[in-house]
Amino acid sequence: MQDFGAILHNHVLLVALAACFTAQGLKLIFDFMRHQKFNVRVLVETGGMPSAHSALVAALATGVGQTAGWASTEFAVAIVFAFIVMYDAAGVRQAAGKQARILNQILDEFFHEHELREERLKELLGHTPFQVIAGSLLGIGISWLAEMAY
């Protein structure tokens, strides 16, 4: 059980989490700039600018590369994992969001005269490629800044 406290000293983990939370905080700021009101729901919703998933995995992979070495097996695993997460965020989940938008439009058109009691599908599921790139650059930047300060 004493090893559990070592988690709090895991530099790579802490930097990855810091990148994720920074991205989530930036979502709140960007949403405020766009709508001129605070919406704390953006802190727990999927999608938005920048991608917190991408920031997290990019910082994780960068941190692993910095500590274990760029030619290490650990870095290879981390970077492949990062690419899968970022592809999913911009590809699969973005496509699912577009399908949800179309299904909601169909429901609106067919049931406009009758009250539909079903909840609408969530349309903002994924990220645009720009949001993924911004999140990954944020994660890499935070990891490099933390390495310089460490």
Asked if residues 128 and 94 have their Cβ atoms less than 8 Å apart, the reply is: yes
CA 97 – CA 84 distance, rounded (Å): 18
pLDDT of residue 111: 67
Phi-psi region of 36 (alpha: psi -120 to 50; beta: other; left: phi over 0): left
List pLDDT tens digits, range 4-53: 778 888 999 999 999 999 999 998 998 898 889 888 888 877 778 899 99
When divided into structural domains, the chain yields a total of: 1
pLDDT of residue 95: 67
pTM score, whole prediction: 0.78
DSSP secondary structure string, 14-29?
HHHHHHHHHHHHHHHH
Domain hosting residue 57, numbered range? 2-149
